[in-house]
Amino acid sequence: MQDALRRFKADIFQALAHPTRIAILELLRDGDLSAGALIEKLGMEQANVSQHLAVLRAKQLVSNRKAGNQVFYSVRDPILIDVLDLMRTYFHAHLKESLGMLDELDKTPEAVR
């Protein structure tokens, strides 16, 4: 049982373990977006984004609703946003040591982080 739980947790983290999927969740932070809107904002291949969305769907991190021609995605549980926020705190505390990005970080507009 413990192990099943940990596999479940690991699966969620695995779903978060890609820059594009993180970008998607961050874009969905403030509300729904259509697949097309995501593709445009990400500036990536349609198929690629669609595949990443499939991963997020499979792990149930997002929910989707069809509206005619389009599919709108949203973050399924706001706890996930809390997790991302907590991690952001973590990243800010450790990015400097981990990479040599301290100067760049300080110059980065708030909105970007």
Amino acid code (one letter) for 102: L
Radius of gyration of the chain (CA): 16
Binds its own copies by CB under 8 A, chosen from 30, 47, 98, 103: 98
User: What Cα–Cα distance (Å) separates residue 81 from each residue in 58, 68, 77, 104?
Assistant: 18, 28, 8, 25
CB of 65 to DNA, least distance (A): 10
Q: Is 63 in the site for DNA (CB under 7 A)?
A: no
**What is the chain's length?**
113
The sign one gets for the Cα dihedral 30, 24, 80, 60 is positive
Q: Give me the 26-55 binding string for DNA, x by CB under 7 A, dash otherwise.
A: --------xxx--x----xxxxx-xxxxxx
* Token reading at 103: 């100067």
In the complex, minimum distance from the CB of residue 4 to its own copies, in angstroms, rounded to a whole number? 7
Q: Does 65 bind its own copies (CB under 8 A)?
A: no
Return residues touching DNA (CB under 7 A): 14, 17-18, 20, 34-36, 39, 44-48, 50-55, 64, 66, 68-71
